[in-house]
Structure 1
Amino acid sequence: MVQLASSHDAFDELSGDVVVVPGFAGSRLVDTQRNNEEYWLTEDLLEDRVHPPMHLPIHVRDDAPDPVVSQGLLTDRPYIEYYSHFIHTLQQTADTSQGRLRVHLFDYDFRRNTVTLASRFIDYIETINRQQQQPVFVIAHSMGGLIALAALHQRPVLFRGILFAGTPFHGCIDALKNLQKGALWGRNRDVFTAETQFQLQSTFTFLPLDGRGLQHRENGTEWLLDFQDIDGKLEVDYAGAITEPGDGLCVNALLY
């Protein structure tokens, strides 16, 4: 009989530098113009009492500065369980490892594109590498996995391994739904509206790579699209309709 190791035993086997990369919306955002006031994620936001604009200006490109910046992971929120238990256990293991394990938390502005974020991540890992003179092990969730994968392709020598958790390597259907109807956070429907989703660079990272997700309303046949083709991308109007590029005519399509 094979006895499976407990989760605690698995943590005990970790050593060296371990970097945790959260998923979409897993990093704190603060407003530098308001003395680093909490921007994302607050209890007032989840309770639909405040509606901070989450979009980036439509003209913002790549690494252009914005007063709202990332600052740490969402690990200490009494009103929502995000990464709290996992980070606490991991850090507790590091604290009792006599220096064998070192934990690093990489936060990022999840509104931006993965190309820019991967470049920042590489800089972050290179700093650790210069200090410790050894590659790192990465634990990456969701969008964090896409960032880590992009960095791995560019600088494989920096990594000794990556654990991908729930990473949408082929995109996800929810990206199309969010472009049509927005996304609900807690009780709040007015933060990540369809308009806001369209103005997030990261939204387009999640579009299905296989072009699936739509069907014609009239006959139910599948409507395949290359979402990575800049000339074939969907245009989403602010009423939530999907239209063909150029002519502004509404396509009778349903998400499935």
Structure 2
Amino acid sequence: MSDNLQSSEATEDTEYFPGQHADGSDVSSDAAQSFIGGSSVVSAHPEHHHQETSSKDEQLENNQVTTDDLESSHYKNEHKIFTFSLPFGGNAIHFPSIKQIRQNLPIIGSNDTDDRGYDPTLSRHEIKQKLKRQQSVSTIEESFLFKDLKGVDNGRFRAVKKAFTPAISIPSLIDEKRKKESVWDQIEGEVVILGGYRGSVLKETETNNRLWIPSFKTGLNLNKKTLLIGPNDEDEIEVQKHIYSPKTLNHVGPVDITRKLRAKLTNGKTNVHTFGYDWRLSCDISSQKVIEFLAKLKCNQGSNPKGAIVIAHSMGGLVAHHAMQQRPDLFRGLIYVGVPSMCPNVLGPIRYGDTVLFNNKILTPEINFFMRSSFVFLPEDGRCFIDKKTHEQYNLDYFDPQTWVEYNLSPAVAKSRQKASAKAAKLEPVKSPILKGIDSFDMKRSLSLRSSHKSTAEEFNVSFDESYAYLSRTLKRTKKFLDDLKYDPEKKYPPLAIVYGDQVPTVRGARVDGVADIKNGNYDDFFYGPGDGVVHHKWLMPERRGFPVAAKLSSGEGHISLMTDLETMGDALFAVLQEEKARLSARDG
């Protein structure tokens, strides 16, 4: 069965666990957190906070959580925002404990142009105002802004957002706001919503059983159900026959993802679809499926096709962008919602895996490693690690498979497994008659069961040699996919808009004590910048690929909740439609 898609009229529209109501009302936030990475969905009690400044407004804006807070039992289980996790994953299985943030954060960034000096006369409020005005902020200013932050109290994000939004009563601005709000009634035609990494439901074709998000029963007692894809290209083709995606995730328990947005878009003049896809597969495969789906829509039929407005979240934006590069004529507009050009956070799940509903077998390091899409987030500039003493940058070539072996970036291709594999190869010719019936692959695997990091010890399903060959092919394929995302001035692109977060402390990289720390997986001493908790505000697509946009709109929401910010989403739609009108006027005039 191919990837299935649903319109907004579909009745099966919930993701909930056995024993709860269909609306997810009695699902605890703790259960939802098992799937959702980035910022924690549990609010901290205000009496547990110790603020550096005496200003009440400053405390509200910073949402500081101090070292004392982290030492408390409350925060030890809730401090998820700074782990190297991605959406819809719990805490890393054996991830090292969070270390204390130093006040003298390193001067490092992902842009060559952002490493400028810090004006000591600027206050935190003034730096935040620069962010609000979308002005460039140096990495030193980011360090000053977030130097004492340890976590974020999500229950106060709306208050923070209001604090940054002045109550202006100028009539012209009020009229402009009303005009933008009317976009929900004005929009018509086909609208397609794409989720991101781990953002679509996955089901077995034969049984229709749900694999992702798993039910509570499956999560506690996972047996044969697995998300592992074999190492060969044939395995990726074969898995599409047995697992399909009927839709994107609408919500997880009490946490809304797209439900309100879909309801708002449904006005009687629109046909709203959610594009479900297997987010484990190579992104070029998913891109081709997007093209095939869009080409069949009514808006792309006839002598005057209009195209569909596509709203894509996170990795879904990379998939949609790649599809647009191949067939821009199928798009009426594209809205990028928290879409990264890179996200080194993926190194955590690949190295340590994730725990889902107290089960560490659903998203093991090996399973994450064999998800082809995982590698699309790797930083092409190699920046992630910096020496905490010398501030030397360790720019690694993540698209060289040997780098993964040398630095033990995945247990599947760790140097210890390479040595064990070589040892097994030497022993293989000296088989006794008793061992002749034992498969050589099983021998190799048994000799390399453990990775270089004792906390990630596990039995592997794929040998080192097969894993390394897979990695080599996948990195090459991923690099081509990323190269295909670049701006082409010869193409006629539809109106584009960006919705992003810039008020949640976001990991930019890790400070390490020399190269040995990288090899040993000791990269839990992070440095931060403004973002949505997963994507830094300077990593945004399609900006980093040279594309002009009709609007770039910031939100105070975290990564998972960006599409629930209906005001900002409405502004993005308004900008796309206004750009469309301007282009039509220019063409006809």
Q: TM-score, normalised by structure 1?
A: 0.81
Normalized per residue, which structure has more helix?
2
Q: CA deviation at 1:76?
A: 6.2
| Residue 82 of structure 1: aligned partner | 257
Give the conservation status (yes or no) of the 8 Å contact 2:315–2:340.
yes
The residue type paired with residue 119 of structure 1 is Q
Give the conservation status (yes or no) of the 8 Å contact 1:179–1:236.
yes
Query: How many matched pairs?
Result: 247
> Which of 136, 144, 160 pairs up with 2:332?
160
Cα separation, 1, equivalents of 2:416 and 2:294 = 42
| Alpha-carbon displacement from aligned partner over 1:63-93 (angstroms, at most 9, x marks no partner) | 60321211112226546533222223323x2
Whether 2:380 is the aligned partner of 1:209: answer: yes
| Residue 176 of structure 1: aligned partner | 347
Cα separation, 1, equivalents of 2:326 and 2:284 = 11
Unaligned 5+ segments in structure 2 are 1-169, 421-451, 453-514, 527-589
Whether 2:227 is the aligned partner of 1:58: answer: no
> Which of 15, 22, 46 pairs up with 2:188?
15
Aligned pairs (5 A) from 1:106-255: 106-128=275-297, 129-130=300-301, 133-169=305-341, 171-215=342-386, 221-229=392-400, 232-233=403-404, 236-238=409-411, 252=516, 253=518, 254-255=522-523
Give the conservation status (yes or no) of the 8 Å contact 1:46–1:187.
no
Give the conservation status (yes or no) of the 8 Å contact 2:347–2:409.
no
Q: CA deviation at 1:103?
A: 1.4
| Residue 554 of structure 2: aligned partner | none
Give the conservation status (yes or no) of the 8 Å contact 1:63–1:116.
no
The residue type paired with residue 178 of structure 1 is P
SS for the counterpart of 1:71 is coil
SS for the counterpart of 1:74 is coil
- Structure 1 stretch displaced more, 110-119 or 187-196: 187-196
Aligned pairs (5 A) from 1:19-34: 19-34=192-207
Cα separation, 1, equivalents of 2:305 and 2:192 = 15
Q: CA deviation at 1:217?
A: 8.3
- Structure 1 stretch displaced more, 48-57 or 196-205: 48-57
Give the conservation status (yes or no) of the 8 Å contact 2:350–2:410.
no
The residue type paired with residue 142 of structure 1 is S
SS for the counterpart of 1:160 is strand
| Alpha-carbon displacement from aligned partner over 1:105-158 (angstroms, at most 9, x marks no partner) | 211000001111111111111111126822111100001100011011111122
Cα separation, 1, equivalents of 2:358 and 2:186 = 40
- Structure 1 stretch displaced more, 125-134 or 115-124: 125-134
Give the conservation status (yes or no) of the 8 Å contact 1:46–1:188.
no
The residue type paired with residue 118 of structure 1 is S
Cα separation, 1, equivalents of 2:182 and 2:220 = 41
Larger radius of gyration: 2
The residue type paired with residue 123 of structure 1 is E
Cα separation, 2, equivalents of 1:137 and 1:191 = 34
Q: CA deviation at 1:7?
A: 8.1
Normalized per residue, which structure has more strand?
1
The residue type paired with residue 197 of structure 2 is F
Cα separation, 2, equivalents of 1:78 and 1:223 = 41
Identity %: 26
Q: CA deviation at 1:245?
A: 11
Q: TM-score, normalised by structure 2?
A: 0.38
Q: 1:84 to 1:185 in 2, by over 3 A?
A: farther
User: For the aligned residues, what is the CA RMSD?
Assistant: 3.3
Give the conservation status (yes or no) of the 8 Å contact 2:287–2:322.
yes
Unaligned 5+ segments in structure 1 are none
Q: 1:88 to 1:186 in 2, by over 3 A?
A: farther
The residue type paired with residue 210 of structure 2 is E
Q: CA deviation at 1:204?
A: 0.6
